[in-house]
Structure 1
Amino acid sequence: MTLRPPVARNGIYEHYWAFASRRQAAFERRVAGLPAPWTDDPILQTFKFCNVYRAADRVSQYMIRDVCYHDEPCTPEDRLFQIVAFRTFSKIDTWRDVHATLGRYPTLDDLGDGSFTRALDEARRRNGGLYTGAFILCATDAYGQGLKHLNHVELFRHMFLTDDLGAKLLAATSLREVYDQLHGYPLMGDFMSYQISIDLNYSGLINFSENEFTQAGPGALRGIKKCFTDLGDYTPADTIRWMVDNQEKELDRLGLPFNGLWGRPLHAIDCQGLFCETDKYCREAAPELASARKRIKARFTQTAEPMELFFPPKWDINQQVPTGQVLGTTASPDRMFEPQGTLF
C-alpha cells in the first residue's frame, strides 16, 4: 500500500530549503574569514538562528571537543556520564566552573562521593544560574529535592550508579535503543532524550546512523505545520526522513546552492532543527501564519570569543576544515525547547 505523502504549503515550504541554502552560505563565508555581512537576507542579518548543522553550533562544538573527545583519563562510563550531564545544563560556563573546582572533568566517583554536587553548588554560588536559557527542562522535584540541579544530580546517580546506565548504553544496538534507555527516566522527555542520544552518538563510544531514528521537538512540529497543509499518511518523523532523502533533488529543483558540511549531507537531526528554524524565520517572512510564537526574541550580535571548528573524527571531515580561530556570536536568550545556535 502506497502512503499518501505530505502536501506542501506553496510559498512556505520553499522557505525551508531557501533558509538552509542561505544560512549555510553565511556560515561558509564566516568560516572563510570574509567580513560581515555574510548574507543579504535581512531576516538573517537581524535575528539569531541556529546553524544548519547542529554540530556546528557553539555549545555542540564545545560538547564535541571538550566533552566527547577531551584527553583527560576517564573510563567510557565516566565519559557517557559527562556527556549526559553537560547537555542537561548546556551551559559552557557551568562546565568550566565544575572543571576548575574539581581540577578535572567529573567522574562517577565524584558523582558518588558528592564532589560533583559540591562543584555545582560552588558554580551556582559564583554565577547564579547553572542552566542555559536554550532549553525548557522538566522542573518537577521527581527525586524530592527542592532545587532543580539537585534533582538532576539524583537523576544522574539513579542512571549511572544505581542502574549502571553506562554499561547499557555501551551495549546498545541502535540509536533508538539509546533513546529508549534515556527516555525511561524521570525528567527525560521526548526531546531531551533525543538530543542527548545525538550527543552520545557524537562520541567515539556510540556509533549509529543519525538517520536511523528521529524525534520532532515542539519547534520542529510548528515548522512542519507551517510547511505542509497535510501530512497525508506520514508521521512527523517520516516527514523529517523524507526531507533527508529528498534534499538533493529539492535543492536542485529550486536552484538553491548547497555544499553541505564539507560534503556531509543533511542528516535527520539537522532536518529536524531546520523545521524549528523555519518556524522562527516565518514569524518574519510569513507573519500571517498562525503560531504559538509571533516574534523572534533573539537578535544577532557578534562576540569576540574564538572557536576553532572540530567535528567527530569518525565523520572524516576535520582535515577539510580551515584551521585557526573563527568567531561566534551571542544574543539575548530566546527561551525555547531547541538549542540555540549562532550566526557563526
Structure 2
Amino acid sequence: MEGNGVIELDGRRVRVTEVFWSYWRLAAERQAIFFRRVSGEAGPWTNDPILERYRFTNAYRASDRVSQYLLHHVIYDQERDTLDTILRVLLFKIFNRVDTWEHLVDRVGQPSVVGFSAEGYAKALDELFDQDRRVYSAAYIMPNPRLGEDRKHRNHLSLVEMLLQNGVLADLEKARSLKCLYERLCEVQSFGPFLAFQYAIDLNYSPHFDLDEMEFVVAGPGALRGIGKCFEDTGGLDAAGVIAAMAGSASDFFETTPMPTPFQDLWGRSLQLIDCQNLFCEVDKYARVAHPEHSVGGPGRIKQVYRVDHEPLTLGYPPKWGLPLSAQAPSCFGTAS
C-alpha cells in the first residue's frame, strides 16, 4: 500500500504519508546512481528529474566525497597512534572542507599532537579569511565556542588545543561503546548532540575504535523534519526509535515497495543507523519538490544544484568492515560522485 495509510513498523501500527514510500525509492535510486558511476556508465545516471537536478548525499554516509577524503587522507594515509588520529579527525571535521584541510597541511604540515599550535594554524586560516574564502563547510551549522578570540576559526583552534592540553582527547581513547564516545564529545563546548554524534561516527571509522554503529543514533534537525514528513503518527516511537525501526525493516520495504531500481547494498553491508538518519535528511529535501504539500517548517526549496565532478571517484572503506575496497589502498572508478 502506498500513499497515506496505516502500516506496521517494528510491531507497531503507524500512519505514514506518501513521503514514506519516497524514502525507500530515494535510497534505492541514489544507491543505483552510485553504482552506475562506479561501473563507468556515461551520464545521466538517473531518470528521476529531482535527483538529476539537485545534489543529494549517497545512501551510505561513508561513500560521500568528504567522508572518503577523511578516510583516505586524514585517517588511513599512514599508520598513526590513537591520539594523533583523534586530533586529526576532529580538526578536519570541525571545518569539514577539503580545501581548508589542504591549506593547513600546505602551510603548517601534517597535523599531529607533537608541536600542535593553535596559533600556527590560526595564522594559516587567517589567510583564507582575509581573502574572503570559505573556511567552513555549509553542511553543518558550527556554533562558535567563544574562547576569547575575535574570529570563529581561531576559537575552534583554541578549543582543539584546550582539549589536547586538558586531556579530553586522551580520554576519548577509553570509550568502549559508541554511546560512551558520543557522551564524552557532548560535553565539549559548542559541539551539541548532533555534532557529537557525527564526530563519534567519524572517529569510529579509524582503526583505533571498533564500536557498533547499530548501538544508537541521534537525529539531526533535517532528519526530524524528514520523519515529520514521512509519518502522521509514529505509534509512540521517538525519532531514534523510528530510525532504528527503519533500519531493521529496510530489507522488507525494499522488497515490497514498487521502485524502478532494486536496492543494492554496499557490497554486503546493510544500511546502518547513521545511514538511515541521513536518508531522512535527504527525503526532507526531496519532498520539498516531490511533495511540497507535506511541509513541517524549515527550508522550502533545495539550495544545492547538482554539478558533475569530473575527477575520478576514489573509493575505500574502513578495512575492519571487510569490504572489497579498502581505505588503505583506495581504488579509482570513472568520475566522482
**Both proteins in one fold, TM over 0.5:** yes
Specify the alignment match of 1:337 in structure 2: none
Post-superposition shift, 1:83? 0.1
Specify the alignment match of 2:38 in structure 1: 31
1:121 aligned to which of 104, 110, 126: 126
Contact 1:4 1:233 in 2 (8 A): no
Asked if 1:326 corresponds to 2:334, the answer is yes
Asked if 1:16 corresponds to 2:23, the answer is yes
Aligned amino acid, residue 242 of structure 1: A
Specify the alignment match of 1:277 in structure 2: 282
2:243 aligned to which of 240, 257, 271: 240
Alpha-carbon distance between aligned partners in 1 of 2:212 and 2:234, rounded to the nearest angstrom: 25
Post-superposition shift, 1:6? 6.1
Post-superposition shift, 1:89? 0.2
Specify the alignment match of 1:43 in structure 2: 50
Post-superposition shift, 1:126? 5.4
Asked if 1:266 corresponds to 2:268, the answer is no
2:72 aligned to which of 57, 60, 65: 65
Q: Which moved more, 1:88-97 or 1:127-136?
A: 127-136
Specify the alignment match of 1:333 in structure 2: none
Contact 1:82 1:107 in 2 (8 A): yes
Asked if 1:288 corresponds to 2:296, the answer is no
Aligned amino acid, residue 65 of structure 2: R
Contact 1:106 1:116 in 2 (8 A): no
Specify the alignment match of 1:145 in structure 2: 149
Aligned amino acid, residue 103 of structure 2: D
Specify the alignment match of 1:335 in structure 2: none
SS of the residue corresponding to residue 324 of structure 1 reads strand
1:253-305 Cα distance to aligned partner (Å, 9 max, x none) = 21451111111110000000000000110111111112321111111111223
Alpha-carbon distance between aligned partners in 2 of 1:184 and 1:96, rounded to the nearest angstrom: 29
Post-superposition shift, 1:123? 4.3
Alpha-carbon distance between aligned partners in 1 of 2:326 and 2:113, rounded to the nearest angstrom: 36
2:89 aligned to which of 70, 75, 83: 83
Specify the alignment match of 1:215 in structure 2: 218
1:284-332 Cα distance to aligned partner (Å, 9 max, x none) = 111111232111111111122333111111111134999434322xxxx
RMSD, aligned CA: 2.0
Gaps of 5+ in 1: 329-343
| % identical equivalent positions | 38
Alpha-carbon distance between aligned partners in 1 of 2:164 and 2:215, rounded to the nearest angstrom: 25
Specify the alignment match of 2:3 in structure 1: none
Post-superposition shift, 1:153? 1.1
Q: Which moved more, 1:264-273 or 1:115-124?
A: 115-124
Alpha-carbon distance between aligned partners in 2 of 1:311 and 1:320, rounded to the nearest angstrom: 5
Aligned amino acid, residue 269 of structure 1: I
Asked if 1:106 corresponds to 2:111, the answer is yes
Post-superposition shift, 1:211? 0.9
Post-superposition shift, 1:74? 4.3
Alpha-carbon distance between aligned partners in 1 of 2:25 and 2:81, rounded to the nearest angstrom: 44
Specify the alignment match of 2:228 in structure 1: 225
Specify the alignment match of 1:339 in structure 2: none
Aligned amino acid, residue 32 of structure 2: A
Contact 1:306 1:327 in 2 (8 A): yes
Flag the 1:210–1:52 CA change in 2: closer, same or farther, 3 A: same
Specify the alignment match of 2:140 in structure 1: 135
1:141-184 Cα distance to aligned partner (Å, 9 max, x none) = 2x12111011101211221211x123211111110111111110
Flag the 1:69–1:6 CA change in 2: closer, same or farther, 3 A: farther
Flag the 1:99–1:126 CA change in 2: closer, same or farther, 3 A: farther
Contact 2:17 2:232 in 1 (8 A): no
Post-superposition shift, 1:213? 1.6
Alpha-carbon distance between aligned partners in 2 of 1:6 and 1:116, rounded to the nearest angstrom: 53
Contact 2:314 2:331 in 1 (8 A): yes
TM-score by length of 1: 0.88
Post-superposition shift, 1:134? 1.6
